[in-house]
Homo-oligomer: A and B are copies of this chain.
Amino acid sequence: MNKKKIINDPVYGFINIPTELVFDLIEHPYFQRLRYIKQLGMTHLVYPGALHTRFHHALGAMHLMSTAIETLTNKGHYISEEEQEAVIIAILLHDIGHGPFSHALEKNIVQGISHEDISVLLMNRLNKIFDGRLSLALEIFNGTYPKKFLHQLVSSQLDMDRMDYLNRDSFFTGVSEGVISSDRIIKMLNVVDDYVVVEKKGIYSIEKFLIARRLMYWQVYLHKTVVAGEQLLGRILARARELAMRGEKLFSTPALNHFLVNSISKEMFMTEDMHLQTFTCLDDTDIMAAVKVWTGHTDQVLSTLCTSFIHRKLYHVDIMNTIPDEGFVESLRDKAAGKYKISKAETAYFVFTDAISNYAYKLDDGNILILMNNGKTCDITQASDNLNLQALAKPVEKYILCYTKDLV
């Protein structure tokens, strides 16, 4: 069987599958599951093209990794064939632990455990299935492998993950301003003292990369209506769990049911196999199918939330620089209690606040170093002419106030 397949990708043209092991990993049900997990949660409510999946993103990041390897080996940095395959596997599987709707429900299915934790669990399990052939990939992924620069290609502020998701999210949303010149940036990568650096002439490309990422955050990832959709979905899951815990009957697939009726701690999830096993059966469709049925549930809170979601009657969202006025929030809650004839506690499903924040660049966390003409390296915030990039290293924190539109 020919395992050296080529996959069509509208973003990069063609993606090659480099080795048989990589092919077999892609074919594995754990990885195939990612076909049904949208990269950007409910963003398609605003940008209807944004239906691309973690599956496609993982392949795209793998493709960029291949080109990065080629560039670095051409510049004389030795990367053995084993290391090449391992770093490719590490990037391929970096998101394998994502659950339904990616970040949108990350905290609502299993509390206290991140998708990165689950990625490691699943990579370990795959390592067993594949007789230890993923050990090197795991070392690179976990950052324990001596050649640190390989880990940086997988995870840092200029890793293949970011480059792919910016390109891909731009492509599918149609927000062309998020496109970055990954080709050009990768051609300017180099390694100094076991650290991935960018050659000096790439400074302006990096500036543009940071600005493009910042734009994508505020224009897409944290877009008001996207936030509204994802918050609503989160509340729906929360209400469903609340009802399920109380013993109410709820339509759901068996896999989703498992996470509705059980309260699973991080430790339980890490140690009792059944939870992870069930998790690998979950994807976006379990949620959507249930939410549609719940529009007819007898619990008015749940059915109202679900109907709003399906009919795209989302929350009103205000994004503010300061904490929302408590008095105003209270008054909205009172109105909601009256209007929907629900308890004050239940109004939290219809009126609530939250905070969102974003760094365009983080100091001291996988910094982007520039290789100057004199052979020394310095942080991009120092190297850039007179664009004050240090300002970008301060987090932007914003507050949101969500409430159902019929309250005002």
Question: Which A residues have a C-beta under 8 Å from some C-beta of B?
Answer: 6-11, 13-14, 27, 29, 32, 35-36, 44-49, 51-53, 55-56, 59, 171-177, 179, 181, 183-184, 187, 201, 204-205, 207-208, 211-212, 214-215, 218-219, 251, 253-255, 281, 283-286, 288-290, 292-293, 296, 310-312, 360, 385-388, 390-392, 394, 396
Contacts and interface: CB of A to CB of B under 8 A. Distances in A.
Given A14-B183, A179-B179, 15 more contacts: A8-B174, A51-B52, A176-B179, A177-B184, A208-B212, A253-B292, A253-B293, A254-B296, A281-B292, A284-B285, A285-B288, A285-B289, A286-B292, A387-B392, A391-B391
List the 7 closest A-B pairs by CB distance, nearest first. A388-B388, A10-B174, A289-B289, A388-B391, A204-B215, A285-B288, A51-B51
B254 A293 contact: yes
Name the prevailing secondary structure of the A interface residues. Answer: helix
A59 B55 contact: no
5 contacts: A177-B184, A177-B205, A201-B219, A205-B215, A251-B253
A6 B187 contact: yes
A228 to B, nearest CB: 15
A233 to B, nearest CB: 14
Contact of A208 (B181, B215, B253, B394): B215
Contacts of A11: 49, 174
